[in-house]
Structure 1
Amino acid sequence: MQRVDPSIRINVDCTNPGQFFACCGLLELADRLWPGAEGWFEQTEFCIVCDGTLRELMKEISDVEIESLKPDDRKTSPLRIAGPFVPLRVDWWNDLQGKGKDLKVWAGSMEGVRITLAMRNAIRQEECWNGNILNYGVVVYSPEDSRKKVEPFYFDARRALNAHSRDVGFSPNSLSLKTTAYPAVEFFCLVGLQRIRPVPTKQPQVFDYFTWSRSIPVNIVPAVASGLISSIVSHGYRFQNWFRTGQRKHKAFRPAIPLDQA
Structure 2
Amino acid sequence: MTHPPDSTRRIRVNVVNPGEFLACCGLAELADRVSRNGVESYFDGGYFFLLWAAPVSELLQELAAIEPVLLDKPLSGLQADKKIAPLELALAGSNSLRLDAWTRLKVNRGKVVLEADPLWKFWGGQQGVLSIWSDLRTQLKDQLARREINLDSEHLFQERCFMTGRFGFDAQAAWNALDVGYSPNDQKQPVATSPALELLALIGLQRIRPAILQNFQFEYSTWGKPLTPVAAAAAACGLLAVPPLACFRAQIIRRGQYGGLSHATQISGDDK
State the TM bucket, normalised to the shorter chain: 0.7 to 0.9
Question: Structure 2 matches for 1:63-102, cutoff 5 A?
Answer: 63-70=65-72, 73-84=81-92, 85-95=94-104, 101-102=118-119
Distance, in Å, in 1 between the alignment partners of 2:173 and 2:224 is: 28
Does 2:120 align with 1:103?
A: yes
TM-score, normalised to structure 1, is 0.86
Question: Does the residue aligned with 1:180 lie in a helix, a strand or coil?
Answer: strand
Post-superposition Cα deviations, 1:77-125, rounded to whole Å, max 9, x if no partner, equal 100010314210001111359x965222123322111111211222222
Distance, in Å, in 1 between the alignment partners of 2:118 and 2:244 is: 26
Distance, in Å, in 1 between the alignment partners of 2:105 and 2:220 is: 20
Q: CA 1:121–1:93 in structure 2 vs 1: closer, same or farther (change >3 Å)?
A: same
Contact 1:23-1:189 within 8 A present in 2 as well = yes
Does 2:169 align with 1:155?
A: yes
User: How far is the alpha carbon of 1:167 from its aligned partner?
Assistant: 0.8
Residue 49 of structure 1 corresponds to 51
User: How far is the alpha carbon of 1:180 from its aligned partner?
Assistant: 1.2
Q: 1:121 aligns with which of 126, 135, 138?
A: 138
Unaligned runs of 5+ in 2: 74-79, 107-115
Distance, in Å, in 2 between the alignment partners of 1:21 and 1:14 is: 9
Post-superposition Cα deviations, 1:60-89, rounded to whole Å, max 9, x if no partner, equal 222122111118733101000103142100
Q: CA 1:230–1:195 in structure 2 vs 1: closer, same or farther (change >3 Å)?
A: same
Q: CA 1:164–1:101 in structure 2 vs 1: closer, same or farther (change >3 Å)?
A: closer
Residue 25 of structure 2 corresponds to 24
Structure 1 or 2: more strand by fraction: 2
Residue 228 of structure 2 corresponds to 217
Question: Does the residue aligned with 1:76 lie in a helix, a strand or coil?
Answer: coil
Q: CA 1:3–1:43 in structure 2 vs 1: closer, same or farther (change >3 Å)?
A: farther
Question: Does the residue aligned with 1:236 lie in a helix, a strand or coil?
Answer: strand
Question: Does the residue aligned with 1:8 lie in a helix, a strand or coil?
Answer: strand
Q: CA 1:230–1:96 in structure 2 vs 1: closer, same or farther (change >3 Å)?
A: farther
Question: Structure 2 matches for 1:141-180, cutoff 5 A?
Answer: 150-160=164-174, 163-180=175-192
RMSD of the TM alignment (CA)?
2.3
Would you say how many aligned residue pairs link Structure 1 and Structure 2? 245
User: How far is the alpha carbon of 1:259 from its aligned partner?
Assistant: 1.3
TM-score, normalised to structure 2, is 0.83
Q: CA 1:8–1:70 in structure 2 vs 1: closer, same or farther (change >3 Å)?
A: same
Question: Does the residue aligned with 1:207 lie in a helix, a strand or coil?
Answer: strand
